[in-house]
A = this chain, B = another copy of it.
Amino acid sequence: MLHVIGLGLGDATDVTVKGLETIRMCDRVYLESYTSILSISLMDLEQFYGCSILEADRELVENNVDEILPKDEKENVAFLVVGDPFGATTHSDLILRAREKGIKVKIIHNSSILTAIGCCGLQLYRFGETVSIPYWNNSWRPNSFYEKIISNRRRNLHTLCLLDIKVKEPTTESMVKKKKEYMPSQFMSVSEAATQLLEIIREKNEGIAEEAVLDESSLVVGLARIGWDNQRIVACPLGQMASVDLGPPLHSLIVPAIELHPLESEFITLHTGEQKH
């Protein structure tokens, strides 16, 4: 059987009791290591579980998934995912491949950044479509996320912006070589995300006189390491967020709706005094 197990957002003890019991009885244990990060090392995780863990990078999961799947009916394989197993498309693919081969699949859910952000005080049912903000380079500057944020704001909805993660991405030069070489890992910060948003706003609004749906005075919320002991949440205008340093990854940015519910406003003020400049 394939057990796809969410690990939650923080440290080793964020696994559920059911998840831990399952991991301990599995023959092989993989950790998906390219769409998120844990607050602890692989070695600490192995020690807590009392078993060894194989790292599943993008190449293994996307190109050699059969290697992960159980070899026969008796074998139990655990595939560990930070957060909830259904955050990333890739895991749907793994589950489909297992089902195709007649392998039973069991899911053990856990918390996800998609709902854990509720701890900032914005109501989860008031979030519209989630967007992803990718790193720009000189030739590639996609901005479709901006239109989605605006569309959410026009309907008075909040937007969660997931920020780009680059882990074990092959360098352009090594793509054609036999031996892949990887770029250093990169995790977009709230200040980088705010800077890209401000650039789009400047380009879009150039020469336009009417009031903007989103500008540098709009309230945004930066979140870092949610679920970790050292999590931080800061609420401030977008213009200010471009120079806020929330420390190590992972970061997320929320662009709230134009109007807040009184309970939301009250909660958000808990985070407005925290800025460090």
Contacts and interface: CB of A to CB of B under 8 A. Distances in A.
Interface of A: 6, 8-18, 20-21, 84-87, 89, 92-93, 95-96, 99, 107, 109-112, 114-116, 118-119, 121, 123-132, 151, 155, 157, 162, 227, 263-264, 266-267, 270
Contact of A8 (B92, B109, B270): B109
A270 B95 CA distance: 11
A150 B168 CA distance: 41
A99 B111 CA distance: 24
A6 B107 CA distance: 18
B92 A263 contact: yes
Contacts of A13: 16-18, 21
Report copies per complex. Answer: 2
A115 B16 contact: no
Given A16-B17, A111-B111, A132-B125, A267 B118 contact: no
Contacts of A270: 99
Contacts of A264: 92
A125 B129 contact: yes
A13 B132 CA distance: 33
Nearest to A226: B109
A109 B115 contact: yes
A84 B116 contact: yes
Contacts of A8: 16, 109-110
A11 B19 CA distance: 12
Contacts of A119: 85-86, 107, 109
A272 to B, nearest CB: 14
B109 A111 contact: yes
A89 B227 CA distance: 20
A147 B105 CA distance: 37
Nearest to A20: B17
A102 to B, nearest CB: 13
A95 to B, nearest CB: 8
21 contacts: A8-B16, A8-B109, A10-B18, A11-B18, A12-B17, A14-B16, A15-B16, A16-B110, A85-B119, A86-B116, A86-B119, A86-B124, A92-B121, A92-B263, A96-B267, A107-B119, A109-B115, A112-B112, A125-B162, A126-B129, A128-B129
